[in-house]
Every structure is written in C-alpha cells, then in structure tokens.
Structure 1
Amino acid sequence: MEQERLIETATRIFAELGYDGASLQMIAEAAGDDIHSVRQVAETKAELYRQVMQRAHTAEDEAMQDAVAHFTPDRQGIKLLADAFLDFFASHPQALALWQHGWMGDAADVTGVDVFYVQPRSTQIADKIRDRVPPDVDPDYLVWSVMWCVYGFLNTGAVHQHGELPHRHTPSSAPRRTDTHSFQAFLHVMIDRMFASSP
C-alpha cells in the first residue's frame, strides 16, 4: 500500500470521526485496500494516528517557519505569528479537527500526541515577550488567548449584532474570507490592547 495515500485517508477519517470513532478496517476500506496492507504501514491504529498527528504538526511547523524566523518580541511579532497561525488552520480544516477531537478527550489512551507538540513553542514565545508586556498581562495567557481565539473562531464563528448565524467550519470547509479578515482585524486590536503602555 502507498503510505502517502494511507496517511491522507487516515487523516480524513480521524478528522471526521475522531480516533475513538475510527478503526483500521474502516480506514483500509476507505483507502481501497485490506487490513493486512494497512498493517505493513502501521501495526496498530495508535501507530497510524501518531503518524497522522506528526504529519499535521510538521505541516504547521513549516507554515509557521517564516513567521517564527522573523519573530520580534513585540506586538508586531505576535501579530505576525497570529496571522500565520490563523492562515494555516483556516486553510487546513482537517488539522484543526484533529486537534479539536483531542481536546474533547478523544485518543486519551494514545500517549505523546498532546500538548507536547504545542507547549515548547508557546512557552518559548511567552518567555521572549515576558519583559515587553505590562506587568498586569500574563504573557503565557496572552499567547494562549491568541490560539484560543483562533480555534474558537474557526470552530464556531460568531453571532454579530445583526443576528447572522456563524459560518460553521468543518473538516472539509474553510471560513468565509470576509469573516476571516474581520476576525484578523479584531485579533490585531486585541494584541495592541495587551501591549498597551509597553514599547
């Protein structure tokens, strides 16, 4: 079996159903192959899931590479990272869905696929801006607030004053461009407020 095709199929199935809701047999059938061929690539569902999550993490790292390389410990640097983060997950709904399942308790028995992918970068960024934000702003919460806002927007959208229902972001769809632009503008304002009275 072609490994790339299997990983792509498994990514789609895990994004739609979660780890707990999928099986190797289901993935094999969706890929048009049999379970024995699947086991040549991954012996267990947990092993296949780790490969899928590692692939998603690598794709995110590559998308963030330029923003991380040009990061400066100030509001512009955080905006650059926030924009790259938003762009990646807005254009990779399956990656967002994979993480969303995990935060809801999916794949609880699979070790090594949780905060360890995210924590090193968030901690590193928070440490770099620690002396650049006002004393009443916790830099760890600032970094995570940006991430939480992006996840929340892409997952549920927002109901505005005129009562429009949010555009639901699913593993196979992306948010409307106008919504993304208005949310991005808000995100920049939020970051500016958090850096108020700082350089």
Structure 2
Amino acid sequence: MSDPRADGLVETATRLFAQLGYDGTSVQMIAEAAGVSPAVLREAAGTKAELYLAVMRHADDLEQRAVRAAITSFTPEIQGVIALAEAFLDFHASHPDVLALWMQRWMGDAADVPGLEELYTRPLSALVTDRVRQVVPDDVDADHLTWTVVWCVFGFLSGGITYTGDATAPVVRPVRGQGVGAPRPGDLARFRQHLRTLLFHMLTPC
C-alpha cells in the first residue's frame, strides 16, 4: 500500500478483525471506525481481502522481528530454547491483537483467504524448530515441542486459567474481556515460570 492513509486503515482493520473476525467485519464497519467513506477506504487500501492481507503481513512483520532477534542470539542449550519460548510469550502478551488474528483463523475465520499459514506460520515455525532440534533428547519430538509452546502460550493468553487455593481473588482469571489481552503481571510471571520448568524437564535427558 503506497497511500499514506493506508497505515491508519491497517491499524483500524487490525483491531476490528481481531475482535470480530474477518467474516464478522464489513468494509462499512472499518470505514466508519476509521472516519472515512467506503470509497476512500477502497481507494487507499483496496478490497476487504486486500486490507486483510495487509493486516496479516504487518502482524507477521512484527512477530518476525521479535522472534528472529531471539533466534540470532540462540545458543544450543536448554536456556537457549527457553529464551526462544519467552520471546514468543513476551511478543504475544504485548501484541494481543496479533494473537487474536491467529486465534480467529484457528476457528475457521477468513476461509476464503487461504494460504497464510503456509506463507507466514510454516517458515517461522521451521526456523525455530531447526534450533530446538539441536537440543532435544532423542525421545522428544522437536516439532511437537515447538507447538507445545505455541498451544500453551495461546491458551493461557486467550483463555486465562483457573487457579486453586486463592480465596481472595476470582478463581477464573481470563484475559481482557472476551478474546485476548494482557494478563496481570503476577499471572504472567507464574505462567512464565511454568513454561521454563516445562521446557527444562522436556529437554533434560532421562
């Protein structure tokens, strides 16, 4: 997108696609939220599908920068894998809309805009798993270990958790509203420690 108005439209569309899904968001809704007419939106950003592709491309750019920075400093040891996992956790904890966009796709959203997993998810997953494979014991599947981190992080950030033994706070502590958001610092620290412990035991040979 070369139109200078496009950046603002991508930002607005990101928020709406994350909250409502691609299928649940109309061009009219995006235009109204951005304060422009549908005609101006189409002129600046193209069709709804083209705007969605720009949104997902921007989301991937952000994630690539965060994860690739951790890959650059990776060391082939347990702590190196933990650092990769924490970079992934920190990125999605601070970018809830990116997480929500992918969660929407996991639920079948934007089925008429296929191929984004092959374009964005597979290359980064393969890059991370190549590093992880240098460290895993023989009885651990590197692909499944990588995705165990993804599943855990997405589940924690999108669904919250039920803690026991805390009578002074709500038992169920989901993230912001319905969808995803930032967990409380104490909950994030507790999950971070769990992730470290999980990976340490998974990567320590029996």
Are 1:167 and 2:174 an aligned pair? yes
- For residues 116-154 of structure 1, give each alpha carbon's deviation from its aligned partner in whole angstroms, at most 9, with x where no partner exists: 311112222323333532221101000110111000000
2-side partners of 1:131 and 1:61: how far apart? Answer: 21
1-side partners of 2:80 and 2:121: how far apart? Answer: 18
Are 1:23 and 2:26 an aligned pair? yes
Q: How many residues are paired up?
A: 198
- For residues 156-194 of structure 1, give each alpha carbon's deviation from its aligned partner in whole angstroms, at most 9, with x where no partner exists: 121122261123245673110100001000000000011
Match of 1:189 in 2: 197
**Which SS does the other structure have where 1:89 is aligned?**
helix
How much identity, in percent, do the aligned residues show?
Answer: 47
Are 1:3 and 2:11 an aligned pair? no
Within 5 A, what are the aligned runs for 1:23-172?
A: 23-162=26-165, 164-170=171-177
Alpha-carbon contact 1:28-1:34 (below 8 Å) kept: yes
2-side partners of 1:23 and 1:181: how far apart? Answer: 38
Q: Which amino acid aligns with 1:168?
A: V
Give the alignment's TM-score, normalised by structure 1: 0.92
Alpha-carbon contact 2:9-2:45 (below 8 Å) kept: no
Unaligned runs of 5+ in 1: none
Unaligned runs of 5+ in 2: none
**Which SS does the other structure have where 2:151 is aligned?**
helix
